[in-house]
Structure 1
């Protein structure tokens, strides 16, 4: 992933706040023997203090041999993406048709070392961490070994702790465009009101201190 300086996060807190509420991504695991990578969509829970993400998958999942053979993986999350028509990005002195179309998006890629969790008590603790994050309002029983309703289901899953060893994050929202162009794009996003337009506009406005000319990427 190409990350220009104007698209980089201001600090770790920026991408960590975003990741805390964008908890569905793709786990990418190298294939065995030259096979293509496994790409597994999943919910996860990221813990900034522990420097890890946790998740779980069904025991029959075909990625386990690859994960055990090559535990260096990538957890990729992309959201708040929109298409920006070329005329929206034209400078005021340019004809609208000379503007360059582009995509806006937020992305975080966590490089991780995966640790498979098979101990029943550890799996229960991992599940409770996930449920506590995904269902903070409660309404679900806690997992415990040998106890209903989830104890009997623990044998059918394997847990994964993803120890974060590196982070690449990007917020591509007209960071090098002029203030006038940024204002025009923000107004167009508000007017269009499509899926994710409000979130993209919020990023653009929030990151307004960056100024410049072109943002290819």
Structure 2
């Protein structure tokens, strides 16, 4: 992932906060077996300290690729929107001369995938995931010898991603003027399609922290 200086995370707390705010779905990318393309699997995940927890169905063909090469990447993308060219045109140019772009936030985790096959270890992984996704505890106990989860555990495998590197990108035109960024955020809010409003929120948040860009 290419990151311009003005698109970089301002600090580790920025991307960690963004993930914790509910960005818990991404894509697991695995090097393919010899002669095959890379495998990409969309899935929810749970952060556990510095690791990521994932579980997938046992028949998923991605497991063979992970066993062959456990070095993987997990990517989370959100708060994205298409920005039309006229919104980005310089004040002294024709609106149609503006160049469109995409705004988005993205965090890429790379690391070593550890497979989890022990029944009790898988149960513990599921407990940690449910604590995140169903914090009210409105689910049956996850126990190896009790239904419903006990009989389902053989059908899944767990993955603990030991993260070795994190790259975060917040692409919201932070190198543009304060006035232009404010105008785009207002236009996004007015348009109000798909993720326009949260995208505008990210742009305003960065604008409040950065102000005029200084190289």
Equivalent residue number for residue 12 of structure 1: 12
The one-character-per-residue Cα deviations of 1:48-93 (angstroms, maximum 9, x if unpaired) are xx21000101111111111011000000111111000001011222
Equivalent residue number for residue 161 of structure 1: 160
Structure 1 residue 212: Cα displacement = 4.6
Structure 1 residue 138: Cα displacement = 2.2
Question: Unaligned regions of 5+ residues in structure 1, if any?
Answer: none
- Cα RMSD, aligned residues only: 1.2
Could you state the TM-score of these two structures normalised by the residue count of structure 1?
0.94
d(CA) in 1 for partners of 2:190 and 2:93? 22
d(CA) in 2 for partners of 1:36 and 1:169? 25
The one-character-per-residue Cα deviations of 1:104-143 (angstroms, maximum 9, x if unpaired) are 0000110020000010000000001011101112211221
How many residues in Structure 1 have an aligned counterpart in Structure 2?
211
Alpha carbons of structure 1 residues 212 and 89: separation in structure 2 relative to 1, 3 Å: farther
d(CA) in 2 for partners of 1:212 and 1:10? 12
Structure 1 residue 210: Cα displacement = 4.7
Equivalent residue number for residue 141 of structure 1: 140
Structure 1 residue 168: Cα displacement = 0.8
d(CA) in 1 for partners of 2:47 and 2:57? 20
Could you state the TM-score of these two structures normalised by the residue count of structure 2?
0.95
d(CA) in 2 for partners of 1:28 and 1:202? 29
Question: Unaligned regions of 5+ residues in structure 2, if any?
Answer: none
d(CA) in 2 for partners of 1:166 and 1:184? 35
State whether residues 24 and 44 of structure 1, in contact with CA within 8 Å, keep that contact through their aligned partners in structure 2: yes
- Equivalent residue of 2:137, what SS? coil
d(CA) in 1 for partners of 2:71 and 2:211? 34
The one-character-per-residue Cα deviations of 1:139-171 (angstroms, maximum 9, x if unpaired) are 112211101221111111111000001011100
